[in-house]
Chain A
Amino acid sequence: MTTVDRPLRELHRVLRDATTNADGVVRDLERSITVATTPDEKRVRELLSGRDFRSEFVREIDAVLEALFILDTDFAVSLSRDLDRLLERFSVFDAGLRSMRGQAALRGLVDELRGMAGVVESELAPLERVEISPGVVPAGSVDVRTPLLVGRRLLEDAVRLLPVTHQARYREEFLAELHVLVGSEASGWAQLRYAVAIAGRVWTLRRALRVMSPVGERVR
């Protein structure tokens, strides 16, 4: 994604459009969930057959990430609200999977939805840089579970906006909390939501840290 040359207001518009589009996607999904509890497999398939959920989710999330790359602007706070709203809607996706789980007649459909979620995550993976933290788990160590790549990237981007003297601390602290979520079997969406929440309030944290910094410390 190349966003650095794009006007910030244009990016903000992109995010708002993404949110609006996501509303439509999720509304359809919610309808299908309602029907799925009936359960009427035929009706669910009819609802889902007309849409390509995979490409829509990839596109919407891509827009979210695109917008997050401009976190070092004054738009960060308003963007974060939009992101919260958008991700809240994506959480319906998780709810859909849960509600349909265990219904034998719908097993194929559930697998299909789960596959879509996997594709979204795997398509986001190449966006990730390699090493982001001194605390990253080395290969062959005790806990091989790692947080969602895109979540780690968002946290890394957010931490860079903090005063330099605080970056290492919060990089490790936030990543540790992301690991807590992984350890509690939180979904990829929950991890992403955590990272977005941190990123969205990073300016507030920065202000708080500037106040508590020793006198004379320069803030980047």
Chain B
Amino acid sequence: MADRPVDPKGPKMTIPTQLVLRAMIADPTKEFYGLELGQLAELASGTIHPILARLEGCGWVESRWEDQDPREIGRPRRRYYQLTPGGVAYGARALQRVRTPAAMLARLVPRPVTGGGC
């Protein structure tokens, strides 16, 4: 995993981004693969990877390949994502700032993400 500088401002806090961050911060040391994280955050499949790419670009998330030989496991390797220490700290602060109740987030239908920082 190549270290990226952490951007304290992070990406634009869209609702889908908040949902992803909340899911990851709930278990900050856990590694997730994209589909799994999308299901946890209740986001459509195509929505999760652009968000993860932005979070990774900001240094809030890092990713690595599953440590398995595809020939042995009989399938391609999964890509695992995990919050960086900076991502945990800045992400928690960012979520506090937006003050969108989690219950409200859960009811909203996520829309495709556009724009954003980093």
Q: Which chain A residues border B74 with CB–CB below 8 Å?
A: 137, 141-144
Q: A172-B77, A180-B35 are in contact. Are A194 and B72 (CB under 8 A)?
A: no
Q: Which chain B residues border A142 with CB–CB below 8 Å?
A: 72-74
Q: What number of residue pairs across chains A and B have CB atoms under 8 A from each other?
A: 101
CA A86 to CA B53, docked complex, whole Å:
28
Q: Does A58 contact B (CB under 8 A)?
A: no
A135 touches B77 (CB 8 A): yes
Q: Is the interface of A mostly helix, strand, loop or mixed?
A: helix
Q: A204-B114, A205-B49, A212-B118 are in contact. Are A135 and B75 (CB under 8 A)?
A: yes
A212 touches B53 (CB 8 A): yes
Count of residues in B whose CB is under 8 Å from the partner chain: 31
A212 touches B56 (CB 8 A): yes
Q: Which chain B residues border A200 with CB–CB below 8 Å?
A: 46
B50 touches A180 (CB 8 A): no
Which of B34, B35, B36, B51: most chain A Cβ within 10 A? B35
Interface size class of A (residues with CB under 8 A): 35 or more
B75 touches A143 (CB 8 A): yes
Q: Which chain A residues border B33 with CB–CB below 8 Å?
A: 176-177, 180
CA A143 to CA B29, docked complex, whole Å:
29
CA A80 to CA B113, docked complex, whole Å:
14
Q: Does A173 contact B (CB under 8 A)?
A: yes
User: Closest residue of chain A to B53, judged by CB?
Assistant: A208
Q: Is the interface of B mostly helix, strand, loop or mixed?
A: helix
Q: Does A207 contact B (CB under 8 A)?
A: yes
Q: A135-B76, A211-B54 are in contact. Are A198 and B49 (CB under 8 A)?
A: yes
**Interface set, chain A 53-103, CB cutoff 8 A to B:** 77, 80
Q: Which chain B residues border A173 with CB–CB below 8 Å?
A: 34, 49, 76, 78-79
Please give the distance in Å from B106's CB to the nearest CB on chain A: 20
B50 touches A201 (CB 8 A): yes
Q: Which chain A residues border B56 with CB–CB below 8 Å?
A: 212
Q: Which chain B residues border A144 with CB–CB below 8 Å?
A: 74
Q: Does B45 contact A (CB under 8 A)?
A: yes
Q: Does A138 contact B (CB under 8 A)?
A: yes
Please give the distance in Å from B72's CB to the nearest CB on chain A: 7
Contact with B along A176-220 (1 / 0, CB 8 A): 110111010000000001100111111011011101100000000
User: Closest residue of chain B to A158, judged by CB?
Assistant: B46
Which of A137, A194, A205: most chain B Cβ within 10 A? A205
Please give the distance in Å from A134's CB to the nearest CB on chain B: 8
A211 touches B118 (CB 8 A): yes
Please give the distance in Å from A202's CB to the nearest CB on chain B: 8
A212 touches B49 (CB 8 A): no
Q: A205-B53, A208-B51 are in contact. List 12 more A-B contacts (CB 8 A).
A: A135-B70, A137-B75, A143-B74, A172-B77, A173-B49, A176-B76, A179-B76, A197-B44, A204-B50, A207-B114, A208-B113, A212-B54
